[in-house]
Amino acid sequence: MPRVGLNQQTVVREAARLADEVGFQQLTLAALASRLGVALPSLYKHVRGADALAQKLAALATAELATEMTTAAVGRSGGDALRAMADAYRDYAHRHPGRYPATQRVPDPADPEHVEAGERAVGAVAAVLRGYGLTGDDVVDATRALRSALHGFVTLEAAGGFGLPQDVDRSYHQLIASMDISFRSWPGTGR
């Protein structure tokens, strides 16, 4: 049997592609193995199991998303940065419907790259918010608020939760515009 020459990198990357095609929930070791041209148990030479694969996929997707968010916001500030980052966020979710859900997995403390990716993603959001003049606990509150809004919208959209025919793009931009207003006069007490 000629060896296929897999390693963890190639396995996880193909898993990401497959997830985008069939959906995160439908990502299965069986499908991945057949896609890679090996028998299912062979995958265990590269990944500890299905859950570990999901974790590695999460690390990959989180890193990608963090990079795209950061890139979008670089050189901008305030509402400009906010809009650019929000658009990048939703765009990533659209382009990678299978990877996006993986980004919500809590980083595995045992995987430094995963932890670092999570920190970069949250840090990117926080940086934009500090650009609004927010400090201290207000940054934490506002970061949580923005993450909630972005994640909630993207998730509901992906689930088909917006039944009405009204333009979803418009709704998203209105949401971001309203967050912009909120951040400019954040209700917090400061510390």
Choose the one of DNA, a second copy, none that binds residue 28, judging by a C-beta under 5 to 8 angstroms depending on kind: DNA
120 in contact with a second copy (CB under 8 A): no
159 in contact with a second copy (CB under 8 A): yes
Return the H-helix or E-strand segment holding 130.
Answer: helix 112-130
DSSP conformational letter for 44 = G
Choose the one of a second copy, DNA, none that binds residue 179, judging by a C-beta under 5 to 8 angstroms depending on kind: a second copy
Which of the stretches 14-22, 29-37, 54-62, 150-158 binds a second copy when contact is defined by CB under 8 A? Answer: 150-158
1 in contact with DNA (CB under 7 A): yes
Q: Which of 167, 164, 72, 52 is nearest to 125 (CA)?
A: 72
CA distance 84 to 73: 6
31 in contact with a second copy (CB under 8 A): no
Q: Which residues contact 45 (CB under 8 A, 6 or more apart)?
A: 6
Backbone dihedral region for residue 188 (phi beyond 0: left; psi -120 to 50: alpha; all else: beta)? beta
Residue given tokens 């990117």 in the structure block: 124
Any idea of the CA torsion for 125, 180, 85, 90, to the nearest 10 degrees?
110
161 in contact with a second copy (CB under 8 A): yes
Q: Are the C-beta atoms of residues 66 and 125 closer than 8 Å to each other?
A: no
- Subset of 19-38 contacting DNA (CB under 7 A): 28-31, 37-38
For residue 26, the minimal CB distance to a second copy (Å) is 14
Binding site for DNA (CB under 7 A): 1-7, 28-31, 37-42, 44-46, 49-51
Binding site for a second copy (CB under 8 A): 104-106, 137-138, 140-142, 144-145, 147-153, 155-156, 159-164, 166, 168, 170-171, 174-175, 177-179, 181-183, 185-188
